[in-house]
Amino acid sequence: MGILDLAALVVTLAAVFAYLNHRFLRLPAAIGVMLLALAASLGLLLAGTAVPPAAEWGHRVLARMHFSDTVLEGMLSFLLFAGALFVNLEDLARQKWLIAGLASIGVVTSTLLVAAGTWLVLGGLGVELTFLQCLLFGALISPTDPLAVLGILKSAGVPRSLETKIVGESLFNDGVAVVVFLVLLEAARHGAMPAGEVATLFAREAVGGAAFGLALGGGAYALLRSLDNYQVEILITLAVVMGGYALAHALHLSGPLAMVVAGLLLGNRGRVLAMSEHSREHLDTFWELMDEMLNVVLFVLIGLEVLALSFGATDLLAGALLIPVVLAARLASVSLPVALLKPLRNFSPGAVRILTWGGLRGGISVALALSLPAGDARDLLLPATYVIVLFSLVVQGLTVGRVARRLAASDGATP
């Protein structure tokens, strides 16, 4: 199958599953289509026991899709830009210190705690992994996934201040987590890196990516102010996303952070000061539609990805046992920045619990796990990651709105 055939297959499945979910399941679109895709994948695997070519065909199709590249080098740029485009910068600024703490201290703390917990749990199962391999797992599973968060919180009905905290953190923490993961991956392949080299890599990727996004957004803003034609203006934003992300990748800068910064700038200054109301309506409609469609396609791919994985009893048990480890690490990584900021601002009693339960994992964790070096560690950590992601999306994703509203009501305040 060619690229066009694969795209046609995925989009067709996304449309069918979205229709079935809307008519019968009535679940949030992202979760509903993922569960239907997962059910279809399991059905194909069961059919493959009687008709082996069916399962083999599914494996071949998934291998051609290159989930990791599709997510990290394709869909991520569009979804991050679209998500940032509609985030209110004033709301984000009010939560800036908490978001910065969660996206930096929180990610590093969670990475270390997950690594320690993974090393103990797997050791108890008789599985021997080096601590560096456990750190890699901690880095890929610790960040909350902006793609999962943006796709689910819209239909969860959580309070606006909570949504700002969770969405703001998720938009920025993946850039930090990817840098941490890349450093650890480089160390796993070639040995430990000097501290100065690590700092340089982080500065180039993270700080350079944010600066590049600011320059990119500023240039697009100047172009948007110079005309009033919504077709050209939408093309300019597409060029920012596609051309900007490709250039950031070529310059070894953080493309995700560049898209977030550019999206925030154009969404708050560009839409208000550089566009007419007519152009703004068209731009909003275009990117809202792009966001919704790509989110549905992404969650279909997550559901289908089970076809490409091999699950053994140890893999499933490891994934199940690591779920509380990941949640406990999330609780600790949220509690630390909140504790540091408590002298400066007030938090409702339920804030830590809601932020912990609302920290969803998704496609980015699976994509990073797929990029691990081939070997026994990858064969164990990849299916374990998938189990944790499924739990996060289905159990946490379906209940986060209810938990947030219940805690906010009992505390008498919005966190």
The SS3 assignment for 223 reads helix
Both tokens of 402, joined, read 């209810």
Contact (Cβ atoms closer than 8 angstroms) between residue 71 and residue 295 = no
Look at residues 346, 161, 63 and name the one whose alpha carbon lies nearest to residue 153: 161
- pLDDT of res. 412: 52
**What's the whole-number average pLDDT of the chain?**
88
In this prediction, residue 414 has a pLDDT band, given cuts at 50, 70 and 90, of very low
Q: What is the mean pLDDT of residues 234-245?
A: 96
**Over 70: is that where the pLDDT of 415 sits?**
no
Cα gap 397→53, rounded to integer Å: 35
CATH code at position 196: 1.20.1530.20
Q: Cα torsion for 133, 137, 140, 142, to the nearest 10°?
A: -130
- pLDDT of res. 411: 58
Length of the chain: 415
Contact (Cβ atoms closer than 8 angstroms) between residue 5 and residue 271 = no
Both tokens of 293, joined, read 């469609």
Highest mean pLDDT among 11-15, 173-177, 310-314, 359-363: 11-15
- pLDDT of res. 151: 64
Both tokens of 123, joined, read 């050791």
- Radius of gyration over every alpha carbon of the chain, rounded to an integer in angstroms: 21
- pLDDT of res. 297: 93
**Over 90: is that where the pLDDT of 205 sits?**
no
- pLDDT of res. 323: 97
The number of CA neighbours under 13 Å toward the Cβ of 262 is 33
- pLDDT of res. 57: 76
The alpha carbon of 294 is separated from its chain's Cα centroid by a whole number of angstroms, namely 13
In this prediction, residue 157 has a pLDDT band, given cuts at 50, 70 and 90, of low
Out of 44-48, 118-122, 138-142, pick the least confident: 44-48
| Boundaries of domain holding 120 | 3-411
Cα gap 154→172, rounded to integer Å: 18
Token pair 């905290």: residue:
165
Name, in order, each residue with C-beta under 8 angstroms of 346's C-beta and a sequence gap of 6 or more: none
Cα gap 104→173, rounded to integer Å: 7
Token pair 């690591």: residue:
322
Q: What is the mean pLDDT of residues 196-223?
A: 89
Look at residues 120, 75, 89 and name the one whose alpha carbon lies nearest to residue 217: 89
Contact (Cβ atoms closer than 8 angstroms) between residue 61 and residue 44 = no
In this prediction, residue 312 has a pLDDT band, given cuts at 50, 70 and 90, of confident
Q: Choose between 342 and 20: higher pLDDT.
A: 20
Look at residues 267, 296, 258 and name the one whose alpha carbon lies nearest to residue 83: 267
- pLDDT of res. 409: 67
- pLDDT of res. 410: 66
DSSP code of residue 306? G
Position 190, amino acid: H
Contact (Cβ atoms closer than 8 angstroms) between residue 131 and residue 119 = yes
Cα gap 164→271, rounded to integer Å: 19
**Over 90: is that where the pLDDT of 161 sits?**
no
Q: Choose between 403 and 392: higher pLDDT.
A: 392
- Number of folded domains that form the chain: 1
**Over 50: is that where the pLDDT of 19 sits?**
yes
- pLDDT of res. 172: 86
**Over 60: is that where the pLDDT of 413 sits?**
no
Cα gap 91→267, rounded to integer Å: 13
Both tokens of 194, joined, read 């000097």
Both tokens of 47, joined, read 């059919």
- DSSP E strands in 189-318: the ranges are none
The SS3 assignment for 56 reads helix
Q: Which helix (H) or strand (E) holds 119?
A: helix 107-124
pTM (two decimals): 0.91
Spell out the alpha helix ranges (H) of 342-412: 351-357, 363-370, 376-391, 397-411
Token pair 């990073």: residue:
368
Q: Which helix (H) or strand (E) holds 174?
A: helix 160-190
**Over 80: is that where the pLDDT of 184 sits?**
yes
Please give the angle made by the CA atoms of 212, 216 and 217, to the nearest 5 degrees.
120
Q: What is the mean pLDDT of residues 171-181?
A: 81
Cα gap 135→118, rounded to integer Å: 9
Q: What is the mean pLDDT of residues 270-294?
A: 92
